[in-house]
């Protein structure tokens, strides 16, 4: 199988380049990540992140044939050759396919991704009705892989000020939580030309999420919540 992979090593001082590989998948190789692991036994200078190899840790997000995805969830079968692999677009490259996620996580932390509840925890748990719990479906499953934010043109232009689809999905996850008491402060924080309203509803985020989530829908819900509050 033919691959063309973005290579960059900051220590050599050379500009980034695309390197061609030709590697035969072994019998058990089903996903792109399997092939990358095989490739690395031949060329151990090739750098990429991975951990769980089953779509849970979110560390092997990369741009695969022009589309962001997780290597571990991308089937080898049907991939157009040569498979072109690049680091997540718009993110600073540390080395090869490894990008700097500092800003991405700073945005995530800015929305206070934790439950804010003033009452002391009850003896067992803060209970929810099945309906209230249902509202968190499609929100809590996010693995923070950044495929969406790195595919969002608005995030490419303003990565320092726009929170991006991943952070906004999480913001809504806590706004929607019946146990959270900080909804008003959360909405205050988001009502900003940059943080929330840079989103132009291009919907690349929803289109590309490897977990099938819909950040653009969550963003719409935040806008509706803001609208309801001010009317």
Partner 1 sequence: MRLFSGQRAWLVQRVSALLILLLLLVGGVLLLFGPALDHARWHALATGVHVAPLIVLFFAALSAHAWVGMRDIVLDYIQPRALRLAVLSAIAVVLFAVMVRVLLTLAAHFATSL
Q: Which is nearer to ligand FES, 56 or 184 (CB)?
A: 56
196 near ligand SF4, judged by CB under 6 A: no
Distances 18 to 4, 15, 69, 82 between C-alpha atoms, Å: 6, 10, 19, 12
- Between strands 83-86 and 98-99, the pairing is unpaired
Q: Which is nearer to ligand FES, 38 or 50 (CB)?
A: 50
Q: Which one of residues 80, 124, 200, 228 is an interface residue with ligand SF4 (CB under 6 A)?
A: 200
CB of 57 to ligand FES, least distance (A): 3
Q: Which is nearer to ligand SF4, 181 or 194 (CB)?
A: 194
* 125, two tokens: 């748990």
Number of residues that bind ligand SF4 (CB under 6 A): 25
169 near ligand SF4, judged by CB under 6 A: yes
DSSP three-state, residue 2:
strand
165 near ligand SF4, judged by CB under 6 A: yes
- Between strands 2-7 and 83-86, the pairing is parallel
Distances 192 to 153, 163, 188 between C-alpha atoms, Å: 18, 10, 8
- Strands of the chain (E only): list them: 2-7, 17-22, 61-64, 67-70, 83-86, 93-95, 98-99
**Contact partner at residue 196 from partner 1, ligand SF4, ligand FES, none, CB < 5 to 8 Å by partner kind:** partner 1
| Separation between Cα atoms, residue 40 and residue 67, nearest integer Å | 22
Residue that has been written with the tokens 């044939």 in this structure: 65
176 near ligand SF4, judged by CB under 6 A: no
99 near ligand SF4, judged by CB under 6 A: no
Binding mask 125-164 for ligand SF4 (x = CB under 6 A): -----------------xxxxxxx---x-x----------
What is the binding site for ligand SF4 (CB under 6 A)?
142-148, 152, 154, 165-166, 169, 199-205, 209, 211, 213, 215-216, 219
């Amino acid at each position: 199988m033919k691959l063309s992979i973005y290579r960059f090593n900051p220590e050599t001082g050379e500009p980034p380049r695309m390197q061609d590989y030709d590697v035969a998948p072994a019998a058990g190789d089903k996903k792109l990540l399997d092939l990358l692991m095989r490739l690395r036994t031949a060329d151990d200078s090739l750098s990429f992140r991975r951990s769980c190899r089953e779509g849970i840790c979110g560390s092997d997000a990369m741009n695969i044939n022009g589309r962001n995805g997780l290597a571990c969830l991308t089937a080898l079968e049907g991939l157009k050759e040569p498979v072109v692999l690049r680091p997540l677009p718009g993110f600073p490259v540390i080395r090869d396919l490894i990008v700097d996620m500092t800003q991405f996580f700073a945005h995530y932390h800015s929305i206070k991704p934790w439950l804010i509840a003033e009452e002391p925890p009850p003896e067992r748990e803060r209970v929810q009705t099945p309906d209230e719990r249902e509202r968190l479906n499609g929100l809590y499953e996010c693995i923070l892989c950044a495929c969406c934010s790195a595919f969002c043109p608005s995030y490419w232009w303003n990565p320092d000020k726009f929170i991006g689809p991943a952070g906004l999905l999480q913001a809504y996850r806590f706004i929607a939580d019946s146990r959270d008491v900080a909804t008003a402060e959360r909405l205050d924080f988001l009502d900003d030309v940059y943080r929330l309203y840079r989103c132009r509803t291009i919907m690349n985020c929803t289109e590309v999420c490897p977990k099938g989530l819909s950040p653009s829908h969550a963003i719409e819900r935040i806008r509706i919540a803001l609208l309801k509050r001010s009317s």
